[in-house]
Amino acid sequence: MFEEISNALQNARRIVFVTGAGISEESGIPTFRGKDGLWRKYDPMKLATIDAFYEDPKLVWEWYQDRRRNIISAEPNNGHKSITELEKLYQVTVLTQNIDGLHQRAGNSKVLELHGSIIRIKCTVCDFQKDFTGYFDVLPPKCKCDNILRPDVVWFGESLPQEVWKNAMQEASLCDVMIIAGTSLVVSPANTLPIFAKQNNAMLIEINPEQTIMSNEMDLSIRDTSANVIPKLVEFVKEIKSQ
């Protein structure tokens, strides 16, 4: 599976993962655009924009509370966990579009959340914010300043957290190998990260059961799931590094 990139893996020091909803699919969290994807059932313009939130904050919160319930009860899978293993062999950074916190719960030590976190809540007015895994009896929940709280996620039309994005571009520009796992790469600016890596002559590896809009740019595309492939990558690297 990895023979053709064996040299690159042998010589690499910095590996960057760009991940999306697909890496959490095997933890029971639906993707957005896959077969049973969320955007096939729900209109993102009614649930994932700031206008939709102010139009009907209760509706938006009901949907996010359901997603929080599913995410908080989910467990990291072998895809997430193997990345922690890989940290023993390389300098690994995870640039994730996921808001579920499963990379961190799997022990991945360097994770940049490009689209925020559903676990974190923040006030729409004051600078209050905190991680919260409980449930709200009254929706929309209110801050102590009496303004409504929102999930600290990036909605369509909103900018990414600037410091995070700046660091992500830098990590992508410095990596030797970029592994793009579980993302359709249709959302920007996250889908520009492989271009930064390519400009640094990094090796691009895609792990996705389906073709994506950038599959032709990849040095290697593996049509399988992340929980199947990443553990095998770890075993392969351990083997070549022991020779």
| Residue 193, C-beta contacts closer than 8 angstroms, at least 6 positions apart | 16, 18, 95, 168, 169, 172, 178
The residue (of 126 and 213) whose beta carbon lies closer to ligand APR is: 213
> Contact with ligand APR (CB under 6 A): which of 94, 121, 207, 233?
207
What DSSP string runs through 5-60?
GHHHHHH--EEEEEE-THHHHTTT---SSSTT-HHHHS-HHHHSSHHHHHH-HHHH
Residue 47 phi, psi (nearest 5): -130, -15
31 scored as a contact of ligand APR (CB under 6 A): yes
34 scored as a contact of ligand APR (CB under 6 A): yes
Choices 57-65, 126-134, 177-185, 197-205 (CB under 6 A): range interacting with ligand APR: 177-185
161 scored as a contact of ligand APR (CB under 6 A): no
Region of 201 please: left (phi>0), alpha (psi -120 to 50) or beta.
Answer: left
Please confirm, yes or no, whether 80 is among the known catalytic residues. no
> Contact with ligand APR (CB under 6 A): which of 1, 186, 195, 213?
186
> Contact with ligand APR (CB under 6 A): which of 27, 78, 93, 97?
97
Q: What count of residues does the chain have?
A: 243
Binding site for ligand APR (CB under 6 A): 20-23, 25-26, 31-34, 37, 97, 115, 181-184, 186-187, 207-210, 212, 225-226
Q: Which residues are catalytic, by number?
A: 115
